[in-house]
């Protein structure tokens, strides 16, 4: 059974460079107020004190909103700030290692790109969800592997984990992805690059049942 609920929703991912002027914490609060149900801290920098400070601030904020904070690619940082879990790419270590360090209740997600074999392996390894995409061209990762819409129903038939769709998602595109089998929509630019972050988040949140 997955630690990430199947009920789905907006899975917002921060981009530190994108939020340099707006402010990471204030933008994150806006997206949570708009209805995001998961927040991922994604920062590829090497300034560890800054990364710890930012992740700790986001953890406190997520605790207020009762929303899980996941850390991109960094099990040690997730452990240090008490985050709910991590998201792992293909070069970011194993599910088993993350589980042993973070515990049975941690949420551990795995990028599977456009590969069903990765989906199968992630489930066997004990992941809590799989992320698929890029379904559309992404400004964050313009060279990302492209996933076809049919990957979602194929993955749904293959595993019983929640499916997170990612890559260039707008609210209109999000509705199409949900209809194809996505449980969650992972969005960066679609919320954090918008003039009204809270309003943009609310548009995505409205695509899902309100519970």
Query: Is the dihedral angle over the CA atoms 114, 120, 122, 127 positive or is it negative?
Result: positive
Could you confirm whether 51 is annotated as catalytic? no
Quick one: which of 166, 168, 182 has its CA closest to 7? Answer: 182
Could you confirm whether 94 is annotated as catalytic? no
| Catalytic-labelled residue, pool 101, 141, 156, 173 | 141
Q: Report the C-alpha dihedral over residues 139, 181, 66, 107, rounded to 10 degrees.
A: -90
Could you confirm whether 42 is annotated as catalytic? yes
Q: Encoding tokens for residue 153? A: 């129903």
Strands (E), the chain: 9-13, 38-41, 69-72, 85-88, 107-113, 129-132, 163-166, 184-187
Are the C-beta atoms of 188 and 207 separated by less than 8 Å? Answer: no
| Three-point CA angle 40, 2, 96, nearest 5° | 80
End-to-end Cα, the chain, rounded Å = 20
| Catalytic-labelled residue, pool 2, 37, 111, 134 | 111
| Catalytic-labelled residue, pool 42, 120, 156, 173 | 42
Neighbour tally for 75: CB within 10 Å: 22
Supply the residues annotated as catalytic: 42, 111, 141
């Amino acid at each position: 059974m997955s630690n990430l609920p199947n009920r789905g929703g907006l899975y917002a991912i921060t981009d530190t460079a994108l939020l340099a002027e707006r402010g990471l914490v204030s933008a994150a609060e806006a997206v949570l107020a708009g209805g995001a149900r998961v927040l991922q801290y994604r920062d590829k920098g090497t300034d560890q004190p800054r990364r710890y400070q930012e992740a700790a601030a986001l953890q406190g904020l997520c605790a207020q909103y009762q929303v899980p904070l996941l850390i991109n690619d960094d099990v040690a940082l997730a452990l240090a700030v008490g985050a709910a879990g991590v998201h792992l790419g293909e070069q970011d270590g194993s599910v088993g290692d993350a589980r042993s360090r973070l515990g049975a209740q941690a949420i551990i997600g795995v990028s599977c790109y456009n590969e069903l074999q990765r989906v199968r392996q992630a489930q066997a390894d004990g992941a809590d969800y799989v992320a698929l995409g890029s379904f559309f061209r992404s400004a964050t990762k313009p060279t990302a592997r492209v996933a076809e819409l049919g990957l979602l129903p194929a993955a749904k038939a293959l595993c019983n984990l929640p499916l997170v769709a990612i890559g260039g998602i707008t609210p209109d595109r999000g509705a199409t992805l949900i209809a194809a089998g996505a449980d969650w929509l992972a969005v960066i630019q679609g919320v954090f690059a918008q003039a009204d972050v809270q309003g943009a988040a609310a548009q995505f949140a409205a695509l899902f049942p309100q519970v």
